[in-house]
Every structure is written in C-alpha cells, then in structure tokens.
Amino acid sequence: MKILLVYPQYPDTFWSFKHALKFISKKAAFPPLGLLTVAAMLPEEWEKKLVDMNVTALADADIEWADYVFISAMVVQRDSVKEVIARCQKLDTKTVAGGPLFITEYREFAGMDHFVLGEAEITLPSFLEDLEKGEAHHLYASNQRPDITETPLPLWSLINMKNYSSMNVQYSRGCPFNCEFCDIIILNGHKPRTKDKAQMLAELEALYRQGWRGGVFIVDDNFIGNKKKLKSEILPAIIEWRKRKKYPFVLSTEASINLADDEELMRLMVDAGFNTVFIGIETPNEESLEECAKSQNQNRDLVASVKKIQNYGLEVQGGFIVGFDSDPLSIFKSQISFIQKSGIVTAMVGLLNAPPGTKLYRRLEKENRLTKAPTGNNTDCSLNFIPKMNYETLINGYKHILNTIYSPGPYYERVKTFLREYKPQVGIASRLEFYHIKAFFKSIWFLGIREKGRRYYWKLFLSTLLKQPRKFPLSISLSVYGHHFRKIVEKYIALAVEDPASSAN
C-alpha cells in the first residue's frame, strides 16, 4: 500500500510567521506533528510519503503515486483542503481525512472517501483493519479518550527538518478549564491526559538523534494541566536529560495564567529549558472574563501576573479577544493600555468567533445570532455571529488596536518594557547558527535601513547592545517578529468585511 500524507497550506496569518521566517531562510514554523504521528501508526511495510504544502508544492505525480491520500487540517486550512480533494478526485485517488477541521464539518466535504474522526489511537485501527479486508466504511468516529502513553513516536524521517524553524512535541491532551469560546474540550476532553517520563525523554531523544538542535514547541493546550506530575516527574527528568546532552533544545509551550501562582513550577520550567509561554489573557475587562467563564483569569492583577512570569525568565506571548457581549466601548483603549503596560510583545488580538460545538456556539444558536461557519482565523476581521456592539464600531475598534500596537513606536516601546522585566537564566545560551548571523544582517537592511520605523529599530539596537548585551539577540528576534506582524496588519486593515447581520437568516 502506498500512502501520501498531505498537510494543506495555511493562509498568511499572525501565526504563520511567513515574513519573519524569510530572515532565517526557513519555509515554515512547525512540521505537521499530527500527520507524522499518524504515519507511525500505519503498517510498517506500507510505503509512506509526506507533503507539507507550506514547505513544498503538491505535484500531480505525488497524488498519482498513492493508493490513498491522508489529509489532516485545522479549520483555517479549509480552502486548501478543498483544492486538494478536487485534485485527488480528478486523478482518481482515494482520500482519507481526520483532524480538527473535520470533527464538526465533515458533512461539508462531500468529495472525501473516508473520514477517521476523533483521536487516531481509537479510530484509525478499525479503519485500517477494514481497509485490509476491502470493507472500509465512509465514517469512523468515537468520543473515547485514549491512553496517550500508547502513542508512538512521530515518523520524523518523513520530513526535512532544515525547512522548519522549530520542532514540536506533545506531552498532554485536554484542559482542566472550560472557557465558553474554546473547542479544546470538544477535541481533547476536559481531563488532562499525559505521557509518562520515559515517553517524553524518548520524544526528545528521537529529535536529538535526527540531528535537531534548536527550538522545540510543546504543543499542549495547557502544559500545566497536571502540575503535580510536572514537578515531581517530568521536569526533573528533562532537566537531567538536557544537561547530559549539553542543552540541545530551547523549549516553549502554552499554559494558563495561574502559572504565575507557582514559583517552584516556573523555576523548574526555566531549568528545563523553557523560555517562552503562550497564555490566553483574553481581556482586562472583568465582566467579559466572567461572561466567557475564564475563571483562572478572574479576580487577579493580570499585569502583575504577567510580569512575575517574565521575571522568572519566561517570555509571555498573549492571546486577546474583543467582541464579548460585556465589552464596553472603552475596551479598545483598555486592551491597548494593558498590552503596552504588560510588555507582551507578541500580542495576538482577535475577534470573538464561535467554533461549532462550543458552549458559546450553543448559546448564540439559541439566541438566533449565528450567521456562518468561522474561518478558523480570528484575526481576519470576520465574525460568525451578530455582536451586541455596533458592528462598525467593533471592527473599527479592532483595527485600531492592531494598527496601534504594531506601529513601530508602540511596538519597540513594548519590547523595551519586556526586556526590563525579563530575567533569563544565566550561563546557558542558545547555539549560534550561520542563519542567525544572516538574519542579523538582514534585520539591519530591512528594519534599520528600508523600513519607515527604522529610528525605533536603531534606538532599541543601541540601547540593548550597550545596556543589556545578553538580551541583544532576543531584541533582534523580536524586531524581526514586528516586521512580520506589521505586514499582516497592513493586509487586515485594508479588509472590508460584510456585517454578519446582513447575512443572518
């Protein structure tokens, strides 16, 4: 059996880092971890190829070679998925689909031959068994949650690691919280399920043996969902492994703001090599936090929590949302003020959308406020429901936030605020690669000479080099990120999006 695994193309978004990746001559931020893991679950004797369309073009010859094309995708990749399906149909190659996009939307893809939904450890074996017998059904689905200690190592040999800026690993699935707008508990459940210590070290060892040296993103929805196990088993084991291997990786992950309440956990994470954590801040408005059931963010000084995490040596990247029913007209000014004061350089501000199956979706459905399927990209100025706030006010306010926080003046000022708070671990530096040197000189050319905001670049350049030389490489990296964000904002600011009320049933 010949299997082609295809990862469809992402649109150009904040998270694509497309414009920043050009500085380091990389084609994509992360490889398709889900497909690589599925590949490892397929019979060993089958022939396998993987095409990540974010790295290389999908050729007709690839499709014609395969007996089956396996497709996995996020919602934001929907348009690319449809193109892949159409090409497979034209070339008479059968398709198999799984992943987040298809969990709630599989009925929208009439041309797909087989759907293997839910977590692959449960549904894939049944499909493979039927496929071997020539009796494969159209749909395989299950809500059962597997023990992920049985999940195999990803088949890293299917990719060229040099195309990516970072590798990725999964430690856990599920989140203990239940935010109204979030679909994580639909996909992965409410109770965190974790891999064991030996498995995590095997995951890191596999990357090490493939020759990877650099960033590793632990893709968990909430890495600290089981704090006790992290502190007693996982992090001490990673610390020892990393020391033995002479610190080959720098780690990053996603967590909740209550990380700030656990000083021991923050110390252990930094000792284990973590330097960045993405946190869903959402909003400084207490009523909006209550509305969306973001209990872990309520009744706390969010700016102080962010700064505490930064003080321990972790850069905080933040997710923010506007469009809650409880948002006052002052929310746009409040969001800007919070982002600037907190020093969250990478601030992903999006419009509220309601993914199918979420508590928010069900509530808005009852209120007859839903209008269409979400695009999966909450930064593209689209809404899939009728907001309480005047639509034009909301969209214009949202664009004002983006235009303000990513303009050179406020952006570089935010970098300075962060660097003042950030206290990185002493004595362990990232490896200097040739592409880092190339990126440095590219930053001088593009940001220090060609860009309109070049004076802010040079102010940061000189002040960091002279006053905080250990943080100088990070300041350059953040400057490059800013270039990417400004390119994306330019595109979104120009968008004219239809009022969802005009298309409501």
Q: Using one digit for the tens of pLDDT, what is the confidence trace for 268-300?
A: 999 999 999 999 999 999 999 999 999 999 999
pLDDT at position 394 is 97
pLDDT at position 62 is 98
| Predicted confidence (pLDDT) at residue 431 exceeds the cutoff of 80 | no
- Once rounded to an integer, what is the mean pLDDT over residues 372-394? 91
DSSP-H helix ranges across 134-249: 184-188, 197-209, 227-229, 235-244
pLDDT at position 185 is 84
Mean pLDDT of the chain: 94
pLDDT at position 384 is 94
Residue 462: is it exposed, middle or buried by C-beta count within 10 angstroms (0-12/13-18/19+)? Answer: exposed
| Predicted confidence (pLDDT) at residue 217 exceeds the cutoff of 90 | yes
Report which residue type is found at 46. W
| Predicted confidence (pLDDT) at residue 47 exceeds the cutoff of 80 | yes
| Predicted confidence (pLDDT) at residue 87 exceeds the cutoff of 90 | yes
pLDDT at position 202 is 98
Report the candidate in 399, 221, 376 with the shortest Cα–Cα distance to residue 323. 399
| Per-residue pLDDT tens digits for 118-175 | 999 999 999 999 999 999 999 999 999 999 999 999 999 999 999 999 999 999 999 9
List residues bridging with 7 in a β-sheet: 52
SS3 353: coil
pLDDT at position 378 is 82
Strands (DSSP E) along 107-225, which ranges?
A: 114-116, 139-140, 166-169, 172-173, 193-194, 214-218
Vertex 284 angle, CA 283 and 289, to 5°: 60
Answer left, alpha or beta for residue 97, where phi above 0 means left and psi between -120 and 50 means alpha: beta
Q: How confident is the model at residue 497 (pLDDT cuts 50, 70, 90)?
A: low
Report which residue type is found at 499. D
pLDDT at position 14 is 87
Q: How confident is the model at residue 370 (pLDDT cuts 50, 70, 90)?
A: very high
Fold for the domain defined by 2-140: Rossmann fold (3.40.50)
CB 70 within 8 A of CB 5: yes
- Once rounded to an integer, what is the mean pLDDT over residues 96-113? 94
| 54 vs 10: CA distance, rounded Å | 7
pLDDT at position 225 is 94
| Predicted confidence (pLDDT) at residue 203 exceeds the cutoff of 60 | yes
Q: How confident is the model at residue 322 (pLDDT cuts 50, 70, 90)?
A: very high
| 109 vs 117: CA distance, rounded Å | 13
| Predicted confidence (pLDDT) at residue 417 exceeds the cutoff of 70 | yes
| Predicted confidence (pLDDT) at residue 491 exceeds the cutoff of 90 | no
Q: Where are the domains of the chain?
A: 2-140, 165-420
| Predicted confidence (pLDDT) at residue 428 exceeds the cutoff of 60 | no
Share of the chain above pLDDT 90, in %: 89
pTM, to two decimals: 0.94
Report the candidate in 156, 415, 430 with the shortest Cα–Cα distance to residue 273. 430
- Our measurement of the distance from residue 311's CA atom to the centroid of its chain's CA atoms, rounded to an integer in Å, reads 24
Answer left, alpha or beta for residue 343, where phi above 0 means left and psi between -120 and 50 means alpha: left
Kind and range of the H or E run holding 240:
helix 235-244
| 499 vs 371: CA distance, rounded Å | 10
380 or 427: which leads in pLDDT: 380
**What superfamily does domain 165-420 belong to in CATH?**
Aldolase class I (3.20.20.70)
| Predicted confidence (pLDDT) at residue 191 exceeds the cutoff of 60 | yes
185 or 255: which leads in pLDDT: 255
| Predicted confidence (pLDDT) at residue 377 exceeds the cutoff of 90 | no
Tokens at residue 146, please?
């597997």
DSSP label of 128: H
Q: Lowest-pLDDT range, 62-71, 380-389, 420-429?
A: 420-429
| 461 vs 387: CA distance, rounded Å | 43
Report the candidate in 293, 322, 319, 330 with the shortest Cα–Cα distance to residue 387. 322
